[in-house]
């Protein structure tokens, strides 16, 4: 499937009023590659700002994506978790943001939980998957940095990670663009039948 992006732009944070559209959210540890993956999906270099400093994303950031001949949607960059270098109070505030985002969000259709393919999912990833299921969203594991492994090792890790997470897993690499088309297929399969007939805003 060839997905053409007509326009992609920053739309604000969870505290702003947004037009009701289906949402695809990205969660994961700091520096796991959430921002880079969104940029790769949209074929943009720097729409979503990336940083080598853990915990740089402090808000829930919405990016409106208008597609050619397909429904529009929001891609949502959630704050990273597992960042040991930031103050505990700041970490708690970010956790609170994410908790409020999941609660009662009927527009969330897919939660993509990113994890480095070389490490096993931790408690944070498993909690994120449970939050997605509880909210009615489809959970997906995106195993990033798949280009770092040999083919045989990658096949073994995909099997292990899928078994331990209980969710569908897609190996991906922004360097080689592995998995990008598969991720888009998952997104389109979830939103193509949705009808958002009214552009009325909602309070986040």
SS3 letters across 55-80: CCCCCCEEEEEEECCCCCEEEEECCC
Structure tokens at 197: 């007939």
Reported CATH class of domain 5-192: alpha beta
Distance CA 90, CA 18 (A): 25
pLDDT in tens, 9-65: 999 986 557 888 999 999 998 888 899 999 999 999 889 886 555 555 568 899 999
| Short-list 139, 127, 143, 138, CA closest to 178 | 143
CB-based contacts of 10, cutoff 8 Å, min separation 6: 47, 61, 62, 63
pLDDT in tens, 94-103: 566 777 888 8
* 137 secondary structure, DSSP code: P
Question: What pTM, to 2 d.p., does this model score?
Answer: 0.85
């Amino acid at each position: 499937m060839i997905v053409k992006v007509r326009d992609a732009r920053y739309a604000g944070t969870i505290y702003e009023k947004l037009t009701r559209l289906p949402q695809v959210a990205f969660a994961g540890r700091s520096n796991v590659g959430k921002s880079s993956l969104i940029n790769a999906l949209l074929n943009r270099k720097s729409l979503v700002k990336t940083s080598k400093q853990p915990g740089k994303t402090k808000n829930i950031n919405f990016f409106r994506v208008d597609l050619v001949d397909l429904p529009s949607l929001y891609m949502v960059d959630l704050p990273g978790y597992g960042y040991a270098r930031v103050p505990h109070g700041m970490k708690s505030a970010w956790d609170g943001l994410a908790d409020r985002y999941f609660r009662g969000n009927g527009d969330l259709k897919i939660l993509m939980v990113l994890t480095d393919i070389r490490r096993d999912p931790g408690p944070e990833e498993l909690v994120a998957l449970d939050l997605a299921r509880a909210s009615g969203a489809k959970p997906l594991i995106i195993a990033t940095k798949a280009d770092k492994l040999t083919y045989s090792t990658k096949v073994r890790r995909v099997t292990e990670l899928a078994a331990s997470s209980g969710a569908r897993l897609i190996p991906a690499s922004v360097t080689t663009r592995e998995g990008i088309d598969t991720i888009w297929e998952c997104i389109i399969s979830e939103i193509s039948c949705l009808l958002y007939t009214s552009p009325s805003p909602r309070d986040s």
